[in-house]
């Protein structure tokens, strides 16, 4: 860990010295020389820290030396931060003095006297501050000098620190690898499934039976449970399936809430903490129903916590089962598992470890290339000791090793000799850890601060990395840092250090890009063992006595002073006013979200190092914000959902603020002009500020603003003219154009828009809006990824609108061909323009909603990369023809399309045949009440595949087809679905009564016709 903080201090010293020279700020005599000397010495020691940390794993003396170096480096970082703060404070006070001087300029007879006094005072104050800080620098440097002199006696080997930009990637296609694929658990899976669905013995007795999977961490207990849980035989056998992650501590209230919420499919758990009430609700919910309940990661041996839940579960249907995963066999017995139903999960064989390691490490490599790694690879696999997580982790490490020598170096690494019973997996993880750059090491180890098994928000994590200086050095663009932070996240995820990635239904962070797993990842978890390893790194393997000295401070009581100092973070989870003491002055991050604050603690103004502050979801007077307006180092500030009526003008003092979140302050009416003094501000979130009707006129001064989110801020209909000068803007939501709104010309020069753009177009009966919309020049926005177009018009104006205006306005809003996501809503035209299909060849999703008059759909099947299509509320649609698939009338036209389509198939080319919707995964129709017919392909087209012409494949990747509340449709295109069926997993016809009547009977001819080639097809219906 010393390597990471030393690197940060070295970078800060270099930047600080250069900045002082550039600004010509005179230093106190001797300090400039000492800073340069310290920078040189730390840069020298940094080159041996890689070897030092490896030796520190086995040598306690080296470990202690590293810890002393780390502590002193933290102190130097604090001193530099204090120096920087004093400069900022002086500059702001000096600027304030100039404002006062300008006001006093009118008083001529006092002018000369007034001008002299402040100048003298400022000069004296400046010297005192520098002298005070100089003394601190000398003291810390003296300590560091003593520590650095000791390094020579350890014989460390010099090595250059790893540059993150030089980290090797063998094949880019490895970013698409399926890391969840399992090796060597076929027998265990079959055994588990057989036990769960078995009809013999006591399998169908009343009450419940408990089965347990027992094994050490990282062995794959949860993976095996998931394999069984998702097996189709298990799905069919149980009426209800419930998955609850228990972890530690065992909270029976939360478990009961989770079961009820899961069965009732609630968005939020029941709003009560009364166990008796929850257990009664649980009994009513599962009564008489055969269920499978998985309790994953149980630790408690206290049967008094389990007994009430177990008694409530006995009212389930005959044959109900509980599946438990735990590291402790005593837990399995306490839960009531009979010994012959305790599955002690064994290790993988060396062969299976090699297969798993090889799958991760050598994916994408030619077979001939793989052979040369086999011998050494199998030897490395033996070192995994049968742990799947170790095999996956080592495979991720070896993926970046291109030569046999590098593989042999991994095999011969001395780190394997580390022997500690509690950390048998850590040597495997240390190999990956030691390959990380100092910044990556710091980013990873920081994750130990989160509770085990918790969902970690990627956006929040990266903002903390940036605020702590782990991503890049001081200076530069936060946007660039955040993008780099996402790259760091990807690299850590690729090494299997993160898992359980989620794409939630949340607003996407503005700097997000596609992650290595092909989705905009928003949440993730750490495996228990990986989390333990991160904590091991933070503690240096042991807790020395001087590190655990308890404090009498109630704020810090559960933590040691050292702990707070190292993490530089405090998250206050109690619903009470925190007391902030002197123990916390070195903090960089403070999270007081949702603490029921009635006022902002005055002690906050002493936290001069603070860079990240979350005061969201509290109710305090707006005047209290003046307290935090003296935190000149602050970069990230959350004031969301605080019911603020105003923002003080002093907000302009936070000159380093880069992110300001004001969302969901529904009574906020305006923002102060001083907000425009925040020249470094890059992200401003004013979404759901319903009463906010205008932005400051000086918005053009926010030259670095990249993200402006005004989603649901409906009163903000007009932007200041200065918006058009914000050429760095990359994301803009909720732009109102048209009648009584902003001119589209404001968008003309915003060609860096790269996220999403939401246009709300208010129309009247006039056609002038067409030429106005043309001024937006959307086709020049080459980086724009998502475009949402929503029309707003009164019934009267709609009746007076000329039909041609609708098509004209949508024509002039043509985006650049690079667009990936398109949504159009409330459109009253009769057709869509040709640009929807061509040239939007990169489109991945399209949503068409509330199209009152359009009766047909464009040939979307021709779009080679389209993955999702949603058609909603289209009452004019009665007949869906084959042209929707992109099927043309002649074979010659079809063959012309085959070159593009076939190369885009998810399964590769198709011998020159045409592939319609080659990438489509989800197709959804909803509330198309007049839709009566979906045209099928002809028998000739169905058979033309054998001739190598015509339609060869249709939707080869489709997994879900939804036809929701389309009451007029009574028949599906059987020939088309038979072509789709191999990939189709789910057919949802809920609310479509005609389809439910025809296909609801699984013994009927209609259902058998479409499920003949796919017997595992899941049907969802109401009846």
Residue appearing with tokens 């209290």: 624
Q: pLDDT at position 546, please?
A: 30
- What Å distances lie between residue 33 and 28, 627, 739, CA to CA? 10, 37, 65
Q: Tokens 């005070």 — which residue?
A: 132
Are 784 and 753 in contact by the 8 Å Cβ rule? The answer is yes
- For the segment 496-518, the average pLDDT, to the nearest whole number, is 53
The pLDDT, as a whole number, for residue 638 is 96
**pLDDT surpasses 90 at 606:** no
Distance between start and end Cα atoms, the chain:
60
> Which of 387-401, 676-690, 795-809 shows the highest mean pLDDT?
676-690
- pLDDT at position 336: 87
What backbone torsions phi and psi does residue 212 show, to the nearest 5 degrees? -125, 145
25-29, 628-632, 853-857: least confident range:
25-29
pLDDT at 345: 87
Higher pLDDT, 295 or 530: 295
Q: What is the pLDDT of residues 144-193, one digit of tens each?
A: 888 888 888 888 887 654 443 333 322 222 222 243 567 888 888 888 99
Confidence of residue 29 (pLDDT cuts 50, 70, 90): very low
Number of residues written out for the chain: 1023
Range 500-518 burial, b when 16+ CB lie within 10 A, else e:
ebeeeeeebbbbbeebbbe
Q: State the sign of the Cα–Cα–Cα–Cα dihedral 471, 472, 474, 478.
A: negative
DSSP single-letter state for residue 746: G
How many CB atoms sit inside 10 A of residue 146's CB? 11
Sequence-distant (≥ 6) Cβ neighbours of residue 367 within 8 angstroms: none
Lowest mean pLDDT among 226-230, 280-284, 567-571, 891-895: 891-895
1021 vs 117, higher pLDDT: 1021
Q: Which residue has the higher pLDDT, 266 or 69?
A: 69
Amino acid 98: pLDDT: 59
Sign of CA dihedral 945, 947, 951, 957: positive
Alpha-carbon gap, residue 491 to 442, rounded angstroms: 13
Higher pLDDT, 772 or 945: 772
Top pLDDT among 37 and 687 is at 687
Range of weakest confidence among 230-239, 589-598, 906-915, 991-1000: 906-915
Determine how many CB atoms are found less than 10 A away from the CB of residue 1017.
Answer: 18
**874-903: average pLDDT:** 67
Is the predicted pLDDT of residue 205 greater than 70, yes or no?
A: no
Nearest Cα to Cα of residue 167 among 472, 7, 397, 483: 397
pLDDT-based confidence at residue 116 (cuts at 50, 70, 90): very low
- 581 burial (CB, 10 Å; 0-12 / 13-18 / 19+) is middle
**What's the whole-number mean pLDDT along residues 538-543?**
45
How buried is residue 888: exposed, middle or buried, by Cβ count under 10 Å (0-12/13-18/19+)? Answer: middle
Q: Are 225 and 213 in contact (CB under 8 A)?
A: yes
Q: Give the residue among 763, 824, 827, 829 at the shortest CA–CA distance from 793.
A: 763
Instruction: Give mean pLDDT, residues 434-439.
Output: 78
What does the block give as tokens for 635? 């970069």
Domain architecture of the chain: domains with CATH: 2-161 (no CATH), 186-344 (3.40.50.300), 350-443+474-537 (no CATH), 855-1023 (no CATH)
- The answer to pTM > 0.75 is no
Query: In this predicted structure, what is the pLDDT of residue 509?
Result: 39
Please state, in angstroms and rounded to a whole number, the distance separating the CA atoms of residues 380 and 376: 6
| pLDDT of 265 | 81
Cα–Cα distance measured from residue 451 to residue 472, given in angstroms and rounded to the nearest whole number: 26
Distance separating alpha carbons of residues 187 and 192, to the nearest angstrom: 9
pLDDT at 505: 41
pLDDT at residue 3 in the model: 66
For residue 510, pLDDT beyond 60 = no
CA atoms within 13 A on the CB side of 500: 16
pLDDT band, very low/low/confident/very high, at 624 (cuts 50, 70, 90): very high
Token couple for 668: 């906020």
The pLDDT of residue 812 is 94
Helices (H) and strands (E) in the chain, counts: 30, 29
Tokens at residue 447, please? 């994750």
One-letter-per-residue 3-state SS of 644-686:
CCCCCHHHHHCCCCCEEECCCCCCCCCCCHHHHHCCCCCEEEC
| Residue 764 vs residues 398, 559, 740, 788: alpha-carbon distances, Å | 63, 63, 10, 20
Strand residues in 919-964 grouped as ranges (E): 922-926, 933-934, 951-954, 960-964
For 574-595, the pLDDT digits (tens) are: 666 777 766 677 788 999 998 8
Average pLDDT over residues 53-81: 82
The per-residue pLDDT of the chain, averaged, comes to 79
DSSP per-residue string spanning 448-489 = GGSPTT--EEHHHHHHHHHHTT-SS-SSS-HHHHHHHHHHHH
Q: Which residue has the higher pLDDT, 909 or 873?
A: 873
Provide the b/e sequence for 169-189 (b: ≥16 CB within 10 Å): ebeeebbebebeebbbbeebb
pLDDT in tens, 309-337: 888 898 888 889 999 998 877 788 888 88
Q: Choose from 450-459, 601-610, 629-638 the range with maximum mean pLDDT.
A: 629-638
Report angle CA 21, 23, 24 to the nearest 5 degrees: 60
Please report the pLDDT score of residue 972 as a whole number.
93
Residues 6+ apart with CB under 8 A from 991: 964, 965, 966, 967, 1022
Judge whether 710 and 688 are in contact, CB under 8 Å.
no
Task: Evaluate whether 394 touches 377 at the Cβ level (below 8 Å).
Answer: no
Q: What is the pLDDT of residues 633-680, one digit of tens each?
A: 899 999 999 999 999 999 999 988 999 999 999 999 999 999 999 988
Residues near 545 by beta carbon (within 8 Å), at least 6 away in sequence: none
Q: 3-state class of 512 per DSSP? A: coil
- Whose CA is closest to 698, among 679, 718, 713, 715? 679
Find residue 847's DSSP bridge partners.
823, 870
What's the pLDDT tens digit per position in 262-301? 888 877 778 788 888 888 888 888 888 999 999 998 888 8
Of 213-227, 518-532, 881-895, the range with the highest mean pLDDT is 213-227
Question: Is the pLDDT at 420 greater than 50, yes or no?
Answer: no
pLDDT score at 559? 45
């Amino acid at each position: 860990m010393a390597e990471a903080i030393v690197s940060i201090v070295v970078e800060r010293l270099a930047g600080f010295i250069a900045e002082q020279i550039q600004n010509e700020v005179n230093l106190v005599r001797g300090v400039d020389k000492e800073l340069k000397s310290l920078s040189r010495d730390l840069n020298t020691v940094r080159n041996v820290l890689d070897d030092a940390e490896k030796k520190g794993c086995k040598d306690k003396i080296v470990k202690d030396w590293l810890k002393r170096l780390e502590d002193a480096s933290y102190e130097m970082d604090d001193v530099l931060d204090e120096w920087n703060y004093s400069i900022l404070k002086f500059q702001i006070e000096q600027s304030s003095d100039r404002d006062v001087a300008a006001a006093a300029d009118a008083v001529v007879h006092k002018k000369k006297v007034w001008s002299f006094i402040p100048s003298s005072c400022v000069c004296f104050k400046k010297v005192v501050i520098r002298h005070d800080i100089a003394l601190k620098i000398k003291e810390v440097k003296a300590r560091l000098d003593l520590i650095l002199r000791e390094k020579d006696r350890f014989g460390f080997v010099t090595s250059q620190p790893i540059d993150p930009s030089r980290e090797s990637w063998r094949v880019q296609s490895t970013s698409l690898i399926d890391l969840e694929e399992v090796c060597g658990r076929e027998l265990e899976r079959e055994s588990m499934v057989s036990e769960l669905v078995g009809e013999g013995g006591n399998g169908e007795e009343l009450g419940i039976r408990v089965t347990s999977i027992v094994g050490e961490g990282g062995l794959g207990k949860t993976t095996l449970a998931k394999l069984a849980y998702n097996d189709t035989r298990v799905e069919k056998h149980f009426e209800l399936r419930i998955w609850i992650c228990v972890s530690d501590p065992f909270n029976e209230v939360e478990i009961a809430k989770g079961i009820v919420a899961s069965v009732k499919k609630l968005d939020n758990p029941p709003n009560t903490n009364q166990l008796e009430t929850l257990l009664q609700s649980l009994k009513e919910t599962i009564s008489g129903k055969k269920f499978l309940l998985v309790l994953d990661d149980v630790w408690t041996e206290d049967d008094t916590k389990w007994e009430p839940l177990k008694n409530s579960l006995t009212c389930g249907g005959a044959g109900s089962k509980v599946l438990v995963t735990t590291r402790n066999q005593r837990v399995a017995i306490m839960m009531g598992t009979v010994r012959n139903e305790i599955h002690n999960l064994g290790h993988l064989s060396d062969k299976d470890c090699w297969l798993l390691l090889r799958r991760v490490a050598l994916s994408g490599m030619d077979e001939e290339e793989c052979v040369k790694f086999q011998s050494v690879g199998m030897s490395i696999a033996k070192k995994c000791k049968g742990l799947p997580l170790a095999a996956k982790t080592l495979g991720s490490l070896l993926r970046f090793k291109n030569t046999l020598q590098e593989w042999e170096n991994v095999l011969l690494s001395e780190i394997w000799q580390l022997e500690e019973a509690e950390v048998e997996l850590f040597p495997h993880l240390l190999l990956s850890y030691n390959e990380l750059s100092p910044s990556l090491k710091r980013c990873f180890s920081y994750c130990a601060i989160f509770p085990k098994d918790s969902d970690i928000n990627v956006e929040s994590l990266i903002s903390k990395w940036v605020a702590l200086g782990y991503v890049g050095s001081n200076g530069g663009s936060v946007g660039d840092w955040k993008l780099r932070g996402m790259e760091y996240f990807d690299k850590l995820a690729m090494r299997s250090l993160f898992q359980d990635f989620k794409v939630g239904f949340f607003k996407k962070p503005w700097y997000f890009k596609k992650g290595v797993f092909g989705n905009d990842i928003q949440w993730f978890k750490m495996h228990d063992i990986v989390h333990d390893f991160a904590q091991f790194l933070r503690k240096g393997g042991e807790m020395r006595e001087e590190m655990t000295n308890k404090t009498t401070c109630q704020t810090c009581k559960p933590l040691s002073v050292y702990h707070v100092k190292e993490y530089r973070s405090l998250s206050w989870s109690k619903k009470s006013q925190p007391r902030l003491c002197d123990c916390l002055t070195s903090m960089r991050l403070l999270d007081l979200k949702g603490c029921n604050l009635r006022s902002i603690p005055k002690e906050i103004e002493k936290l001069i190092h603070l860079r990240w502050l979350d005061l969201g979801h509290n109710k305090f007077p707006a005047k209290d914000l003046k307290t935090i307006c003296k935190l000149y180092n602050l970069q990230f500030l959350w004031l969301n959902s605080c019911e603020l009526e105003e923002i003080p003008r002093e907000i302009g003092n936070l000159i380093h603020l880069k992110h300001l979140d004001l969302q969901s302050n529904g009574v906020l009416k305006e923002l102060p002009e001083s907000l425009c003094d925040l020249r470094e501000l890059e992200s401003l979130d004013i979404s759901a500020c319903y009463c906010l009707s205008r932005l400051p006129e000086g918005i053009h001064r926010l030259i670095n603003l990249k993200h402006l989110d005004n989603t649901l801020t409906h009163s903000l209909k007009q932007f200041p003219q200065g918006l058009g000068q914000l050429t760095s803007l990359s994301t803009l939501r909720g732009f109102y154009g048209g009648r009584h709104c902003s001119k589209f010309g404001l968008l003309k020069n915003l060609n860096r828009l790269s996220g999403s753009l939401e246009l709300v177009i208010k129309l009247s009966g006039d056609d002038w809006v067409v030429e106005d919309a043309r001024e937006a020049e959307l086709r020049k926005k080459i980086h724009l990824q998502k475009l949402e177009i929503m029309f707003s018009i009164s019934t009267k104006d709609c009746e007076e609108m000329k039909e041609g205006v609708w098509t004209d306005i949508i024509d002039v809003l043509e985006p650049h061909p690079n667009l990936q996501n398109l949504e159009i809503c409330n459109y009253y035209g009769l057709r869509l323009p040709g640009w929807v299909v061509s040239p939007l060849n990169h489109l991945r999703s399209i949503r068409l909603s509330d199209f009152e008059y359009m009766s047909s759909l464009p040939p979307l099947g021709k779009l080679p990369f389209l993955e999702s299509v949603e058609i909603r509320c289209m009452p004019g649609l009665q007949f869906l023809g084959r042209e929707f698939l992109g099927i043309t009338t002649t074979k010659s036209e079809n063959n012309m399309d085959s070159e593009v389509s076939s190369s885009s198939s998810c399964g590769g080319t198709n011998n020159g045949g045409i592939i319609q919707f080659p990438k489509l995964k989800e197709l959804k129709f909803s509330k198309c009440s007049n839709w009566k017919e979906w045209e099928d392909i002809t028998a000739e087209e169905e058979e033309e595949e054998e001739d190598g012409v015509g339609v060869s494949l249709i939707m080869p990747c489709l997994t879900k087809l939804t036809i929701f509340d389309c009451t007029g449709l009574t028949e599906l295109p059987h020939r088309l679905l038979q072509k789709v069926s191999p990939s189709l997993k789910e057919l949802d016809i809920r609310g479509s009564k005609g389809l439910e009547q025809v296909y609801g009977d699984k013994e009927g001819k209609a259902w058998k016709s479409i499920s003949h080639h796919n017997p595992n097809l899941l049907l969802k219906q109401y009846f």
